[in-house]
């Protein structure tokens, strides 16, 4: 039997009003003596107000929902860490949902979360969303890399510039036959990265070749498969731009299997700067984006939006950083 506010009131010999007011710090008007008595009883019986009863009157669930495509993804788990860290500071908690990339599950989760009266939702989604009526008037933040255009609450990363710089580094290092592993089709689109690749080559007088482009899921396995196909087809390339670090890790293996050593025979760079990339052999050159901060900021913006529903949610653009390690060969000239 859980102890209730009534029990405490009876024990101390006051009304529930008194207990409630004191516990909610609206107790200035009570004598220090009753205050102490109440506090003591609360302590002694380890009383805390029932979450559901409290919420029914106050409507403040202090809970936010988070939907991710894959909890085990190295990038997203870092985002989650950032979110949790901010929420924790603010006494909010996180209801975590794993959509397994499915738009249908996302929908189901949104509904379920709203049924549970979460105060807001952070949705990391690879899908173009017909943002249903459900989300109208409801605080949410999208982490979708700009897939769904909107006016506010965009949390983005200057991917184009970051990727461009990396490709340019390759070219400056003397590479001319440069492949790319990307994901162009809707899902996890890498439009910006691909565009950066295209423009950078063109700006440096290198002809863009369709046959140097290979497509695949943005996972380790996807990178492995894509790199394998690409190297099969175009083994003259000396460098490979990867859509992200996980693809780069897969590409390492593809190179390894073909007996290609990195960077001697093949140069590679990634995108994300996952912790693990510093430990690869050789350490991976990559472009850092602040996954933790993205999560942290998303949580910050969301809580603000919950508190001030009438204000517009700001946009935020994160910078990237080129991380030079040892996976790119520099040709003598």
Residues lying near DNA in the complex (CB under 7 A): 2, 4-6, 13-21, 23-24, 26, 29-31, 33-34, 47, 49-50, 53-54, 56-58
Say if residues 141 and 298 touch (Cβ distance below 8 Å).
yes
The pair of three-digit structure tokens given for residue 321, joined into one six-digit string? 């950083």
Cα–Cα distance for residue pair 71/74, rounded to 1 Å: 8
Q: From the list 9, 84, 119, 237, which residue makes contact with a second copy (rule: CB under 8 A)?
A: 84
Looking up tokens 């989760």 gives 109
Closer by beta carbon to a second copy, 200 or else 263: 263
Residues near 315 by beta carbon (within 8 Å), at least 6 away in sequence: 152, 153, 154, 155, 156
Say if residues 213 and 182 touch (Cβ distance below 8 Å).
yes
Say if residues 81 and 68 touch (Cβ distance below 8 Å).
no
Q: Least separation, in Å, of the C-beta of 30 and DNA? A: 4
Closer by beta carbon to DNA, 21 or else 209: 21
Residue 78 interacting with a second copy (CB under 8 A):
yes
Q: Least separation, in Å, of the C-beta of 169 and a second copy? A: 22
Q: How many CA atoms lie within 13 A of 122 on its CB side?
A: 31
Length of the chain (residues): 333
**Residue 227: C-alpha distances to residues 34, 247, 249, 254, 330 (Å):** 73, 8, 10, 6, 21
Q: From the list 9, 12, 42, 63, which residue makes contact with a second copy (rule: CB under 8 A)?
A: 63
Q: Least separation, in Å, of the C-beta of 15 and a second copy? A: 21
How deeply is 28 buried, as exposed, middle or buried, from its count of CB atoms within 10 A (0-12, 13-18, 19+)?
Answer: exposed
Enumerate residues 189-248 that contact a second copy by CB under 8 A. 220, 224
How deeply is 96 buried, as exposed, middle or buried, from its count of CB atoms within 10 A (0-12, 13-18, 19+)?
Answer: middle
Residue 331 interacting with a second copy (CB under 8 A):
no
Q: Least separation, in Å, of the C-beta of 15 and DNA? A: 3
Q: Which does 199 bind (CB under 5 to 8 A by kind): DNA, a second copy, none?
A: none
Q: Which does 16 bind (CB under 5 to 8 A by kind): a second copy, DNA, none?
A: DNA
Residue 15 interacting with a second copy (CB under 8 A):
no
Chain residues binding a second copy by CB under 8 A are 48, 50-53, 55-56, 61, 63, 70-72, 74, 77-78, 80-81, 84-85, 88, 93-98, 112-113, 115-117, 220, 224, 249-250, 252-253, 255-256, 275-276, 278-283
């Amino acid at each position: 039997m859980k102890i209730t506010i009534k029990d405490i009131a009876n024990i101390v010999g006051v009304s529930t009003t008194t207990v409630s007011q004191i516990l909610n710090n609206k107790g200035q008007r009570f004598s220090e003596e009753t205050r102490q008595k109440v506090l003591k009883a609360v302590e002694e019986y380890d009383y805390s107000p029932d979450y559901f009863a409290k919420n029914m009157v106050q409507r403040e669930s202090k809970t936010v929902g988070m939907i991710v495509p894959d909890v085990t993804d190295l990038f997203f788990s870092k985002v989650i860490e950032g979110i949790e860290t901010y929420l924790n500071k603010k006494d909010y908690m996180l209801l975590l949902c794993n959509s397994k990339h499915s738009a249908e599950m996302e929908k189901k989760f949104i509904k379920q979360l709203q049924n549970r009266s979460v105060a807001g939702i952070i949705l990391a989604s690879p899908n173009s969303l017909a943002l249903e009526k459900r989300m109208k008037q409801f605080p949410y933040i999208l982490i979708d890399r700009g897939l769904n255009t909107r006016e506010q609450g965009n949390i983005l990363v200057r991917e184009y510039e970051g990727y461009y710089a990396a490709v340019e580094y390759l070219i400056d290092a003397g590479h001319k036959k440069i492949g790319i592993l990307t994901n162009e089709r809707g899902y996890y689109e890498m439009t910006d990265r691909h565009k950066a690749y295209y423009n950078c080559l063109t700006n440096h007088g290198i002809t863009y070749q369709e046959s140097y482009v290979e497509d695949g899921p943005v996972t380790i396995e996807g990178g492995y498969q894509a790199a394998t196909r690409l190297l099969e087809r175009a083994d003259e390339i000396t460098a490979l731009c990867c859509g992200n670090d996980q693809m780069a890790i897969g590409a390492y293996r593809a190179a390894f299997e073909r007996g290609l050593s990195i960077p001697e025979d093949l140069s590679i760079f990634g995108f994300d700067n996952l912790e693990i990339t510093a430990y690869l052999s050789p350490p991976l050159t990559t472009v850092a984006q602040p996954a933790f901060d993205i999560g942290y900021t998303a949580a910050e913006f969301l809580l603000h939006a919950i508190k001030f529903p009438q204000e517009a949610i700001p946009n935020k653009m994160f910078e990237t950083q080129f991380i030079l390690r040892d996976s790119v060969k520099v040709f003598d000239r």
